[in-house]
Amino acid sequence: MKRPAFAATLHDPEGRMVAPARAAEATLRRLYCSAHVVATPQTDGRLIALLREADAAVSTGADSRIGVGRRQAILDAVQAGADTVHYCDFDRLLHWLRVAPAELHAVLDQLTAPCTFDYLILGRTAAAFATHPRVQQATETVTNHAFSAWFGQPADVGAGSCGATAHGAALIAQHSDEPTNATDAEWPAIVQCLAPGRVRYRATEGLSFETADYYRAEIAQAGGEAQWRKQVYERPEMWLQRLELSHNSVRAVLAVAQRLSRTSPPAPAPSRSDREGSGPNPRPLPWPGRGV
């Protein structure tokens, strides 16, 4: 089987990823058969030009909702002929390549080997999970408990990365409608419902906390990473955003189970207030790479 395709979303208005992307270009060319990136219109033009010069297919559509961008990225990869797709938020991939390159190679080897799965949840080891700010750990623990109770085994679904066969990716493209980061939980739920037993889980070290990589000047100005984390993450607004993501993630799994489950009775439909969250549409988090 040929190497996996890479699919990613990207939001980098300030060009923070230009230098690390340039440094990683040759390695990424060797790892993947193709690259398919959906970038927000606000992303720095230097980064988009660099990716295109490296033969990545980069779309800069007007829809800045991350769930929409993620679906488009994997659909682009499948339509280009990929047998398997590795999805990873772009800032997380650059971090993974820096801190645990051998592990990333092993994950891609797993996707390249004859697959006994259609979807591979890529989560975090306990050590990698513990590197994240408290607001992420607390709220994502809730999400993971809820998902694991539904899935039937422990899994971490908030790491922003997964693997999928062309069949799994096609199921996602057809049935996913989540506009937020909650696609992390929605996608494996879709595949589990439509292809029971074809979802696997792998914990990784490389999906540790990545955002600090891109804010070294701000960290120095704050007097260190601990002080920077406190300024950025220990705010009520951040707790609200992360609580909303946890709510959206659990809601998305229950909605998928109600629509698609072949193996169990439909889950109770969420109430109108649950479906709407705090307004007529779930409010997506800011995109990765913006200090969140």
Judge whether residue 117 has pLDDT over 80. Answer: yes
pLDDT in tens, 153-177: 999 999 999 999 999 999 999 999 9
> What length does the chain have?
292
**What was the pLDDT predicted at 62?**
62
Alpha-carbon gap, residue 16 to 35, rounded angstroms: 20
Tell me the CB-side half-sphere exposure of residue 98, using CA atoms within 13 A: 17
- The mean pLDDT value for 131-159 works out to 98
Tell me the average pLDDT of the chain: 89
Q: Tell me: pLDDT of 87 over 60.
A: yes
* Predicted pLDDT of residue 277: 31
pLDDT tens-digit profile of 177-223? 999 999 999 999 999 999 999 999 999 999 999 999 999 999 999 99
Please name which of 250, 243, 268, 246 lies closest in space to residue 258, comparing C-alpha atoms: 268
CA–CA gap between residue 175 and residue 190 (Å, rounded): 7
Question: Which pLDDT score is estimated for 184?
Answer: 97
Q: How far is Cα of residue 112 from the mean position of the Cα atoms in its chain?
A: 20
pLDDT score, position 2: 85
Over 70: is that where the pLDDT of 283 sits? Answer: no
Write the single-letter amino acid at 115: C
Global pTM value: 0.88
Ordered domains of the chain (ranges, CATH) = 5-276 (3.90.550)
Task: Over range 52-68, report the average pLDDT.
Answer: 87
Burial of 280 (0-12, 13-18, 19+ CB in 10 A): exposed
Place of tokens 């193709």: 34
Q: Average pLDDT, stretch 117-140?
A: 98
